Amino acid sequence: MMLNYLCSKFRPQGGKPKVVLAPAKDNILVDVLFKAVELDICRPVIVGNSDLLAGVAQKYGPAVSDLELIEQAGDFESIKLAVKMIKDNQADILMQGDTNRKDFLNLVLDPGKGLARKNSYSYISLLMSPKDNRFTMITDTFIHTLPNLQEKNVIIENALKLALLLKIDRPKVAVLAAIEKVNPRISSTVDAAILSKMSERKQFGDAVVEGPLDIDCATSREAAARKKLDSIVPGDVDIYVVPNVESGYAFSQMLAFVGKMPHAGVLAGTAKPVVVNVPFIGFNEKVAEIAISAMLL
């Protein structure tokens, strides 16, 4: 559903980007990439060992004319090669293959050798409501354990960039905390209040950032009205900013699994798009992640 929607609404600007999958192994991620190729989202570059490349050539070679295969043994060396290709503009998007996520991210997010500046990136869970095909973002659900104010600022900026690409008009952002009142003992409420004030001063452009909001106020206009909270954000939120990674996990996963909403993830704020292999994402949503990366270019 999310994938169909993205494909119908959005097309990458310019030519089809090259996605380099590294290290490619004989698994589902290769199929994910070729599904994206079939949908005309991108061109594939596969980095892997010779046996695997032979298999890929046999399976997909006849149908895919611009297939690029690069032989490289070893997970670490493969990733390094792929990162270099991106830095040299030989490819556009890095897609994590079947490898240890810690090693992958440490390499890719290395301030000098990798694809991101320090303190510039965050992770966004993207969910789609089956009721009205509306996107909801929850962030940061992976990178920041307990973001401080400065980090939350970056987290919001990154989410707003994605909102713009998803054509969300005048995004509404809820900065979540345990209570809707500012409590000096609870830093999440203090940060939220400052971000809200920054928004009032138009420091986030057109977006409306509101906080602190507890989850009932954020998700229901009526509940917010009961707590005498006057704002246009409650009940109409595009982006939820969570106070810590644990609450981000709980929130996004309850919506995804109990609420049965299709869900994908986006590493945002890197110099070039990176598709991270995060567990619990469905096949079509993994393809959707490539489509979103193409939009981020």
Partner 1 sequence: MINNFARIYQLAKEKGPGKLVVLAPEDREFMNAVKIARHEGYVEPIFIGNLAKMQTAADELDFNIDQIKRISCVDPQEIADYGIGMLFKKETELVSKGQIPTSYIYRAVIKEEQKKGVKNNISVASLLEVPGCDHLVAVTDVGVNIAPDYEAKVEIIKDAVFLMNLLGYEFPQVVMLSANRDYGPTLQSYLDAQRLREEFGDGSGGFEIRPEHSVAEIFDSGKASLPHIFLAPDLDTGNIMAKLNYVIPVKRCAVLLSSAGPVAIPSRSDFTESIVRDMALGVVLADRIKEKNRTE
Residues of this chain that bind partner 1 (CB under 8 A): 100-102, 105, 142-143, 145, 176-178, 185-186, 188, 214-217, 219-220, 222-224, 226-227, 235, 242-251, 253-259, 279-280
- Closer to partner 1 at the Cβ: 204 or 251? 251
Shortest distance, position 144 Cβ to partner 1, whole Å: 8
Q: Specify the DSSP class assigned to residue 132.
A: T
- Closer to partner 1 at the Cβ: 201 or 260? 260
- β-strand partners of 126: 137, 264
The secondary structure element, H or E, covering residue 95 is: strand 93-96
- Closer to partner 1 at the Cβ: 143 or 266? 143
- Nearest Cα residue to 285 out of 100, 102, 36: 36
Shortest distance, position 288 Cβ to partner 1, whole Å: 18
- Nearest Cα residue to 130 out of 289, 255, 282, 288: 255
Shortest distance, position 7 Cβ to partner 1, whole Å: 26
Could you tell me where the DSSP H helices lie in the chain? 2-9, 28-38, 50-60, 75-87, 101-108, 149-165, 187-200, 215-219, 221-226, 245-253, 283-296
Distance CA(116)–CA(154), nearest Å, equals 13
Shortest distance, position 15 Cβ to partner 1, whole Å: 33
- Closer to partner 1 at the Cβ: 91 or 188? 188
